[in-house]
Amino acid sequence: MFTGIITDIGEVLATRHEGDLRARIATSYDIAGIDIGASIACDGICLTVVATGTDPRGWFDVQISAETVAMTNIGQTGWPAGHRLNLERALKVGDELGGHIVSGHVDGVAEVTALHDEGASTRITLRAPEPLARFVAPKGSVALNGTSLTVNAVDGASFGINVIPHTKAVTTWGAVRVGDLLNIEIDTMARYVARLREWD
């Protein structure tokens, strides 16, 4: 489990196919503190660490299944070398829950359709996939590329968020552009409420 509070920006060093897609990701995390088998959210995708190293800088390897590639923006971008990723280590008992509960199970991709500045913040409009749109509610939570964000407004499948300067500085949000495809995970509570209503 995760909180959607990004704690590092990683960089894809290389990818290769070996049955599944394998990616090597540079990080400023203390590599000595990353166990093989640990879960790290990479742009919101919960991935398992299969190797670590420190040459020429700290890195970890993950394996990514074809299902995950198809469900996320990896299918469109391929995660080329140099691609920057929002990273978050798994939640520990006793950690501060600063965002919202995020599973790291991406539901699909949302497209950035508009950006404009509002003071020092940036208002970003996105379009959710139609099957997910009903789970996005005003003042609700959504995880986008692993970042916990509050939904400001909803209009059909379109919804808006605001990104403050701090978030842009410590995540990849400062580089987001119109047309980008972002991993979206809907709020777990919204998912269960909708499922329960199916039984009414």
Q: Do 126 and 189 belong together in one domain?
A: yes
Average pLDDT over residues 81-90: 97
Per the structure, the count of domains in the chain is 2
In this structure, is residue 121 part of a structural domain? yes
Which CATH number is 175's domain given? 2.40.30.20
Residue 124 belongs to domain spanning:
108-197
In this structure, is residue 103 part of a structural domain? no
In this structure, is residue 47 part of a structural domain? yes
Q: Residue type at 124?
A: I
Q: Do 40 and 112 belong together in one domain?
A: no
In this structure, is residue 81 part of a structural domain? yes
Q: Tell me: pLDDT of 194 over 90.
A: no
Render 54-75 in DSSP notation, one character per residue: -SSS-EEEEEE-HHHHHHSTHH
Q: By C-alpha distance, which of 106, 99, 98 is closest to 43? A: 106
Q: Do 179 and 116 belong together in one domain?
A: yes
Name every residue whose Cβ is closer than 8 Å to that of residue 160 and which is 6 or more positions away in sequence.
123, 124, 125, 126, 151, 152, 153, 154
Q: Do 189 and 128 belong together in one domain?
A: yes
Q: By C-alpha distance, which of 183, 187, 168 is closest to 44? A: 183
Structural domain ending residue among the three candidates 89, 117, 141: 89
Tokens (6 digits) for 50: 């299969």
In this structure, is residue 118 part of a structural domain? yes
Q: Do 80 and 130 belong together in one domain?
A: no
DSSP 171: S
Tokens (6 digits) for 200: 């009414």
Q: Do 81 and 136 belong together in one domain?
A: no
Mean pLDDT, the chain, as a whole number? 93
Q: Do 119 and 193 belong together in one domain?
A: yes
Beta bridge partners of 16: 22
Q: Tell me: pLDDT of 84 over 90.
A: yes
Residue 35 · residue 55 · CB < 8 Å? no
| pLDDT tens profile 93-111 | 777 777 788 999 999 999 9
| pLDDT tens profile 46-78 | 999 999 999 889 999 999 999 999 999 999 999
